[in-house]
Structure 1
Amino acid sequence: MTGDGNTPAGTVVLIGGRAEREFTILRELGYRILYLDRRVPLHCMPWVDVPIDVDVDDWDLVAKVIRDRLDGATPAAVLTHVEPRIPLMAHLNEQLMPGPRGLTVEAAWNCRDKWRTRSRLRDAGLPVPGFGLAGNADEAVELADDIGLPVVVKPRDGAGAFGVRRCTTPDQVGEAAAAVLADPGLATQAGVLVEQYIDGPEYAVQTLTVDGWTRRLSVFRQHMTEPPVFVEIGYEQPSGLEAADEATLTAVVASALAALGVTDWISHTQVRRGPDGFQIVEVNARRPGGRLVEMTTAVSGVDMTRAASQLALGLPVTAEEPQATHALYSSIVFDEPGFVTYRTGLDLAGYPGPPAPIVEVEVAPGEPVLPVDHPEGGVYGRIVTFGRTASEVADGVARIRDALDLQVTALDDLAWLGSDSREYKSCC
């Protein structure tokens, strides 16, 4: 820690976040934490030195609060792991730091704004689905006619599959566009994106870019629910791609990051493989969600949460030896509404690893759940196993599911439940 621990010289400004590891890494690196959010969660209070409630949509106000609290001194870093706050992080870095650090504002928006992402990549000659930006439902229908059905309608800068829908008819396009425009969720940019639907397998590619050189950390085969909605229900490592195809995929992603201006940061990119080859669907300048960070750490030795912290601080990115060659991620979802029951206190000794399996059920026994394809349903937890063979990790997931004995007592009507408070339907 810099100084006596009470000076601002060793203070990291952390914007938003909920996971304890985001805080403990900064502690381990020896820094104090000035935490800013619209409303600081109570459970985060013990992890920070200075919690401040502030309107994080007012960028000038946020910068003033930081300057005032640090008495004009330069923070050690400005950092966020929350996707909607990444442009703010980049802005504050440019305003408060003495030199370039992490993402530029332009690069942050190039990744956050899906229309800008596709425009930049198309201009660079990189493979993206056909697309267009609509300001109303009628324009969306016209775009869909030009692109050709089916299409995907999505918020311009949304996250976590919120509002994303595949449409096969003009009426569906109009309804989906109207729904997004009426309720854009966390999106802030005007308009709705309409893009070509690529029918083929999807891959999640995790990368680390330092001084403009991109290293592939992991490639996971991604499994989704059947359209029209898109919810991630599983990932597997290895991806199943041939070595040459995985090298091609890596090169496409590296070129995309360069075109978007990402020179020193982590990324989570989603790519589909259609009849014309790999097509870039999303480029996210952040770590992946769910437990894909732990999967990536296990197979690459690089912890993406730690790597982002180190890059924000201007430190070298550290790595450890990989612990596994295979991993399987299975989301906990339900087909019917009702009340869930399962066994708690599961003993994970004897299951595949290392690392030890991850078992998370994010709803308590006796609480209500909704189907995976319900607008307020989605993912309620996950099981992740690690090992040396595909059969080993698959057997581990199956055994854990049997031990949990997840059951749903069906009900005819759960309308009284009201709205689900979770931000995203999907993990990642």
Structure 2
Amino acid sequence: MADPGKTVVLIGGRAHREFEVLHDLGYRILYLDKRVPLHLMAWVDVPVDVDTDDWDQVAKVVRDQLDGQAPAAVLTHVEPRIPLMAHLAEQLLPEGRGLTTSAARNCRDKWHTRTVLAAAGLPVPRFGLAEATREAARIARDIGFPVVVKPRDGAGAFGVRRCETVEETRIAAGHVLDEASPDALPGVLVEEYLDGPEYAVQTITRGGKTRVLSVFRQHMTEPPVFVELGYDFPSGLAEDELQVLELLVTSVLDELGVDDWVSHTQVRLCADGFRVVEVNARRPGGRLVEMTEVVSGVDMVDAVSRLALGMPVEEGEPRASLARYRSIVFEEAGTLLYQAPSAGAFPSIVEMEVPSGDQVQPVDHPVGGVYGRILVFADSVEELDRFERRAREALDLRVAPSDDLTWVAAETREFKSCC
């Protein structure tokens, strides 16, 4: 490969925008994944199949492809590959840049996140780590019901469940432990259930200074499972509450060591104030990147790519003062029918993750969840309502009952649940 200094190592990813940004910046892409999908071949310069769980082998592949020279950057937008990205950047780049391995671990390992923040006196739920179902039940009893059981390093609310009893805790913990992938961190996290509205906070940190790009009010299904139903901007928080939230998130990122990077943090507003639920050292999933760009002027895919390259981040102007994001979910199983949406563009974005004619499951079903999303942007609530109504009328969503429903998973559903 010619000119390694103009080559970015990109680990995994499926969204075209992730590839487009790097090419627009003038860089070639060395793409690594366990199995490179056929449709990505046109988007990358050099595709390589490699076991991304074998970090030494991945580093060797990069060195061989670049004749031992350093790439321009190492980047991923995929949650499980963030620690590998940070490791390769420290191994292959001549100077530190972007997310460190320490910060990556602090954010990826939920138990470690809570341990670090609790030691610093920052508000997190009471928690414990269990290696067996009996231990999970004991921790739950010590914390007090209800509790939340979740994988130690999961994403998108997979495997997350609120439990009201010892038996429910044992069952939920057993599912997490039994279904863990070979590369998953050991154990299951049991933590206090936090009651109160939830907020998604998108940030960019550069040179130790954090800027909050967007704060969205997040809507979820009622427990025991947690599936995103939508987001609103503005969040509905008062100005003084926003200031408290911004200070908290800034302190959290500083304590975890996140710098020269982006983040997506989830918090709940409880009776005793804000408490941190998740800290993700990545841009948000779903369409929250587009929502953030419209209300802040910052494209987080472009921003994190520039941060990885050591380039200044570009900022534009906000295009709307109000935004609404609604997930497409269903209460009943059946065959989904709809009219293909037109190309998504401001002030409305509509996308479906499964084709018309596919079978769907209820929102709380283990293989149900989110099947698409509608985003609308405006400067008045009346306009938001009108744009959303038009989008739904054009989509013409219907679910035809089916008495003999056999589930077939659709590989295109990248974001099944939360962001």
The TM-score range, normalised by the shorter chain, is: over 0.9
Q: Which amino acid aligns with 1:362?
A: E
Q: Secondary structure at the match of 2:105?
A: helix
What is the CA–CA distance in structure 2 between the aligned matches of 1:129 and 1:424, rounded to whole Å?
26
Asked if 2 retains the 8 angstrom alpha-carbon contact of 1:336 and 1:370, the reply is yes
2:73 touches 2:308 (CA, 8 Å); kept in 1?
A: yes
Moved more, 116-125 or 394-403: 394-403
Equivalent residue in structure 2 for 1:100, among 96, 102, 115: 96
Equivalent residue for 2:347, pick from 356, 360, 381: 356
Of 140, 145, 161, the match for 1:165: 161
Q: Does 1:110 align with 2:106?
A: yes
Contact 2:75 2:308 in 1 (8 A): yes
Q: CA deviation at 1:347?
A: 8.4
| Corresponding residue for residue 330 of structure 1 | 326
Is the counterpart of residue 72 in structure 1 residue 51 in structure 2? no
Which residue of the partner structure matches residue 406 of structure 1?
397
Aligned partners of 1:159 and 1:424 also within 8 Å: no
Q: Aligned partners of 1:305 and 1:419: how far apart in 2? A: 28
Question: Matched residues in 2 for 1:47 and 1:202: separation?
Answer: 37
Residues 95-138 of structure 1 deviation map (CA, whole Å, 9 limit, x = unaligned): 00111111110100100000000000001110000000000111
Q: Which residue of 2 aligns with 1:389?
A: 380
How far apart in 1 are the matches of 2:232 and 2:73? 34
Which whole-Å CA distance do the structure 2 matches of 1:301 and 1:16 have between them?
26
**Is the CA contact 2:359–2:408 (under 8 Å) kept in the aligned structure 1?**
no
Offset of residue 394 of structure 1: 2.8
Letter of the 1:384 partner, please give it.
L
**CA displacement, residues 333-384 of structure 1 (integer Å, 9 cap, x when unaligned):** 1111110111225588xxxxx8231000111111111111000011001000
Residue matched to 1:34: 30
Residues 190-226 of structure 1: CA distance to partner in whole angstroms, max 9, x if unpaired? 0000000011100000000001110000000000011
Once residues 347 and 205 of structure 1 are traced to their aligned partners in structure 2, the CA distance between those partners, rounded to angstroms, is 28
Gaps of 5+ in 2: none
- Deviations along 1:319-339, whole A, 9 cap, x unmatched? 111111110000011111110
Residue 341 of structure 2 contacts residue 350 of structure 2 at CA under 8 Å; is this kept in 1?
A: no
**Residue 417 in structure 1 maps to residue 407 in structure 2:** yes
Q: What is the rounded CA distance, in whole Å, between the counterparts of 1:225 and 1:395 in structure 2?
A: 25
1:314 and 2:310 are equivalent in the alignment: yes
Give the C-alpha shift of residue 420 in structure 1.
5.3
Report the alpha carbon displacement of residue 417 of structure 1 after superposing the two structures with TM.
2.2
Q: Which amino acid aligns with 2:315?
A: A
Is 1:86 matched up with 2:82? yes
Which residue of the partner structure matches residue 49 of structure 1?
45
Give the share of equivalent positions with the same residue, in percent: 63
TM-score when normalising by structure 2: 0.97
1:280 to 276, 294, 304: 276
Query: Which of 211, 223, 228 lines up with 2:224 in the alignment?
Result: 228
Question: Are the aligned partners of 2:348 and 2:391 in contact in 1 as well (CA < 8 Å)?
Answer: no
CA contact (8 A) 2:98 2:308 kept: yes
AA aligned to 2:230 is G
**Amino acid of the structure 1 residue aligned with 2:30:** L
Partner Cα separation in structure 2 for residue 168 and residue 418 of structure 1:
31
Q: Partner of 1:203: helix, strand, or coil?
A: strand
Does the 8 Å CA contact 2:53/2:183 hold for their aligned counterparts? no
Structure 1 pair 405/275, CA: closer, same or farther in 2 (3 Å)? same
**Using the alignment, how far apart are the partners of 2:278 and 2:32 within structure 1?**
27
Q: Distance in 2 between matches of 1:295 and 1:168?
A: 35
What is the deviation of 1:187?
A: 6.4
Give, in whole Å, the separation in 2 of the partners of 1:209 and 1:413: 51
- Could you say if the C-alpha distance between residues 150 and 111 of structure 1 is closer, same or farther in structure 2, counting changes exceeding 3 Å? same
| Alignment partner, residue 338 of structure 2 | 342
SS in 2 for 1:46: coil
Q: Give the distance between the partners of 1:162 and 1:217, measured in 2 at CA.
A: 26
Alignment-mate amino acid for residue 379 of structure 2: R
Q: Distance in 2 between matches of 1:427 and 1:382?
A: 12
Distance apart, 1:423 and its partner CA? 5.6
Runs of 4+ with deviation above 6 angstroms? none
**Mean Cα displacement is larger for which, 180-189 or 102-111?**
180-189
Residue 201 of structure 1 aligns with which residue?
197
Match of 1:351 in 2: none
The count of aligned residue pairs is 418
The Cα of 1:419 is off from its aligned counterpart by 4.6
Deviations 1:31-77 (A, max 9, x none): 01100000001111101110000000000000000001100111000
Q: Which one of the candidate residues 152, 156, 160 is aligned to 2:152?
A: 156
TM-score (norm 1): 0.95
Q: Which residue of 2 aligns with 1:180?
A: 176
Aligned to 1:344, the other structure's residue is in SS state: coil
SS at match of 2:77: coil
Q: By how many angstroms is 1:8 displaced?
A: 1.7
TM-aligned CA distance change 1:281 to 1:347, over 3 Å: closer
Q: Distance in 1 between matches of 2:145 and 2:386?
A: 40
Cα shift at 1:183? 0.6
